[in-house]
């Protein structure tokens, strides 16, 4: 969250924090070519910066991935590790379903 010179949170940061609490995030896996598993994280609103979320998930899980049509695709099966990572990013535990 950005802080302005008067030490108050900026409007963009406040709205993003509120938006994180109102999400209905789903985590699933899909088998791709040659039997490779891909983990899909979907259900994000447009108020959340998907690039930053995807970047931090890829760093924490040490995997590759991309964003397609508002869905974060991560290479490999990371269903168990994504929920704690999203909670650390500020999403509520009740909003995340496996």
Exposed / middle / buried, residue 74 (Cβ in 10 Å: 0-12, 13-18, 19+): buried
Two tokens at 6?
């008067």
Coil, strand or helix at 89: coil
Q: Are strands 25-31 and 65-68 parallel, antiparallel or unpaired?
A: unpaired
Q: Computed over its alpha carbons, how large is the radius of gyration of the chain?
A: 14
CA 55 vs. chain centroid, Å, equals: 9
pLDDT score at 29: 95
Coil, strand or helix at 1: coil
CATH superfamily, region 11-97: SUI1-like domain (3.30.780.10)
Which stretches in the chain have pLDDT values below 50? none
Q: What is the pTM of this model?
A: 0.77
Query: Any idea where the domains of the chain sit in the sequence?
Result: 11-97
pLDDT score at 22: 67
pLDDT score at 66: 95
Backbone angles phi, psi at 7, to 5 degrees: 65, 30
pLDDT score at 21: 59
């Amino acid at each position: 969250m950005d802080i302005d010179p008067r030490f108050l949170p900026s409007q963009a940061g406040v709205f993003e924090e509120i938006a994180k609490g109102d999400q209905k995030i789903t985590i699933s896996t899909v088998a791709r070519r040659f039997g490779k598993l891909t983990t899909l994280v979907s259900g994000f609103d447009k108020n959340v910066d998907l690039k930053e979320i995807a970047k931090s998930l890829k760093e924490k899980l040490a995997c590759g991935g991309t964003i397609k049509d508002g869905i974060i695709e991560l290479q490999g099966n990371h269903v168990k590790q994504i929920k704690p990572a999203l909670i650390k990013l500020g999403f509520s535990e009740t909003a995340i379903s496996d």
